[in-house]
Structure 1
Amino acid sequence: MATTEHRPTERVLDILELLSNSEEGMTLTELAKALNAPKSSIMPLVHTMTARNFIYMQKDTLRYRIGVATYSVGVAYNNRKTSLQFIQQEMNNITALSNETCQLGIQSRNMVLYIAKKDSPQPIRLMSSVGKQLPLYCTGLGRALLAYKSEEEIRSLFPEVLTAYTPHTIATINDLLKELELTRQRGYAVEHEETNLMVNCIAVSLDYNNAPIAALSISIPTFRISESKEKKAVQILWEAKQHIETHFKMYGVDFGN
């Protein structure tokens, strides 16, 4: 399939994404392997990114990590009045009403990228972080984003057999397609202990111009979940969805895909 992406630019962004999700950092050899590219083509990019402080190399381990310039870019974005800030205000309200953790994600290829989070005030709560990526197929946020894609689009994103992270993970494309049909019928996505045991997620898409650009979720530990609590979570999310999508219509969107 034809692509409009510029290969060197694409690799720079791939390097940033890889390092942002690597706690231990990566060597040049590991980066080249992950990108399926020769080290000779990666090295000039890495040198330039290092010189500009977007990444840095630990001299004792020769591992590259995400650099301070990426923080500066993020701060500049966060300091603007954005649609993301409006969503974060709604997320504060969601957590206040549900007493549980609220998360916001967007699609990044076949992954969901977590871009905002409001923690539950409860002492026992979901441990996750902004910037993390998880597969679309086994997360509530991911399924909310996938639900209205065509079967062809979904099959192009994943292999027939999917990685199972827990005994509860949907592990085939056909089972995923069935679950996405249920998601469309319900109007929201659910995930019960498929990425982490004891963690459940209810999610809704955030739509703009009749297409999902992000998804919003409430995460509930298994020992606190019940039918009534799940029903309340759906109601809270749907009210927030309506507020946010009204804001999109009035002011547009400056994030997402």
Structure 2
Amino acid sequence: MKSSTHKPTERVLNILQLLSEKRDGITLTEIAQSIHAPKSTIYPIIQTMLDRKFIHLDKSTLKYTLGISTLGIGASYLNNEEMIKFIKKEMNYIVNRIGETSQMGILDGGNVLYLLKEDPNKDNDIRLVSYVGKRLPAYCTALGKALIYQYNKEELQLLFPEGLKRFTKNTVTDFDTLEKQLKKVKIDYIASEIEEITKHVCCYAVPLNVNEKPVAAISVSIPTFRITKEKIELTTELLLHVKDKVEEYFSAVNFEVDGGAMGKELR
């Protein structure tokens, strides 16, 4: 089947996604190498994006970062203030009860895109590799597993055509094990990972469903040295409680999903 991908458009999107992951900036040469395109080809694209302020060039380092125009697009994506307030309020409820970090993300291809993060009102003594705007592989994060819990083995192999890369000694690296984990999520709606993406950190998450399909997920991250049976029980209880409240809210506001992604949700 002939691909419908439009190469110039794909390069624009690849540049934006790359810069969203490189918060300290990246040079033209590095951009070209990362997206596998000649500098001569992407230079006119870069110049147009500069003119439109979608990217910014630091002339002292010659590194590109995201520009102010991307902020406007992001703000419009998240401009349903009441919905954002409601979700953040529920995340804060979890944080205040459990004293740990809560995050929300959506599925972006085979990755989790982190959209919201709420930290406890204390010095955070754990270092998470995730942050708002970060993308991490779905197969080794609790948020990701909550988002792909309805996938079977064949669908997982299509979602991750290059296989399951190892990040730590605990990372799930075979599809049979991953499918088995996801089948459990179908039963209790609780996804988990223990030091699969970050050492000394475990995470629990629940899917937020619309019409029985996950559109987002909410998680709690806990350092392993603070894990107890009682804390796990409280964490899952809080997550399931918030899951019910958010899904009720989605229903009350006639929240709809376009194409299985969070397309209309926050517009």
- Aligned pairs for 1:76-91 (under 5 A) are 76-91=76-91
Q: Which residue of 1 aligns with 2:158?
A: 156
Moved more, 2-11 or 45-54: 2-11
Partner AA of 2:160 in structure 1: F
Moved more, 184-193 or 174-183: 174-183
CA distance in 1, matches of 2:3, 2:89: 37
Q: Which residue of 2 aligns with 1:17?
A: 17
Q: Which residue of 2 aligns with 1:191?
A: 193
Moved more, 195-204 or 2-11: 2-11
Partner AA of 1:175 in structure 2: T
* DSSP 3-state at the match of 1:236: helix
Partner AA of 2:114 in structure 1: Y
CA distance in 2, matches of 1:9, 1:160: 24
Q: Which residue of 2 aligns with 1:256?
A: 262
Q: Any conservation in 2 of the 1:159–1:173 contact (CA below 8 Å)?
A: no
1:245 to 244, 247, 253: 247
Partner AA of 2:43 in structure 1: M
Report the alpha carbon displacement of residue 4 of structure 1 after superposing the two structures with TM: 5.8
Q: Which residue of 1 aligns with 2:177?
A: 175
Report the alpha carbon displacement of residue 49 of structure 1 after superposing the two structures with TM: 0.9
Report the alpha carbon displacement of residue 104 of structure 1 after superposing the two structures with TM: 0.1
1:193-244 CA-partner distances (Å, limit 9, x unpaired): 1111111100000111221111100111111111111111111111111111
Q: Does residue 45 of structure 2 align to residue 45 of structure 1?
A: yes
Q: Does residue 142 of structure 2 align to residue 136 of structure 1?
A: no
* DSSP 3-state at the match of 1:256: coil
Q: Any conservation in 2 of the 1:102–1:219 contact (CA below 8 Å)?
A: yes
Report the alpha carbon displacement of residue 35 of structure 1 after superposing the two structures with TM: 2.1
Per the normalisation by structure 1, the TM-score is 0.90
Aligned residues: 257
Partner AA of 1:68 in structure 2: I
CA distance in 2, matches of 1:256, 1:207: 11
Label 1:3 to 1:253 Cα distance change in 2 as closer, same or farther (>3 A). farther
Per the normalisation by structure 2, the TM-score is 0.87
Label 1:97 to 1:5 Cα distance change in 2 as closer, same or farther (>3 A). farther
Label 1:207 to 1:80 Cα distance change in 2 as closer, same or farther (>3 A). closer
2:232 to 215, 230, 233: 230
Q: Does residue 112 of structure 2 align to residue 106 of structure 1?
A: no
* DSSP 3-state at the match of 2:232: helix
Q: Any conservation in 2 of the 1:204–1:217 contact (CA below 8 Å)?
A: yes
Q: Any conservation in 1 of the 2:104–2:217 contact (CA below 8 Å)?
A: yes
Report the alpha carbon displacement of residue 106 of structure 1 after superposing the two structures with TM: 0.6
Moved more, 50-59 or 121-130: 121-130
CA distance in 2, matches of 1:35, 1:182: 37
Moved more, 121-130 or 106-115: 121-130
* DSSP 3-state at the match of 1:164: coil
Report the alpha carbon displacement of residue 62 of structure 1 after superposing the two structures with TM: 2.5
* DSSP 3-state at the match of 2:81: coil
Q: Any conservation in 1 of the 2:201–2:224 contact (CA below 8 Å)?
A: yes
Moved more, 170-179 or 208-217: 170-179
Label 1:206 to 1:60 Cα distance change in 2 as closer, same or farther (>3 A). same
CA distance in 1, matches of 2:71, 2:188: 39
CA distance in 2, matches of 1:249, 1:197: 38
RMSD, aligned α-carbons: 2.2
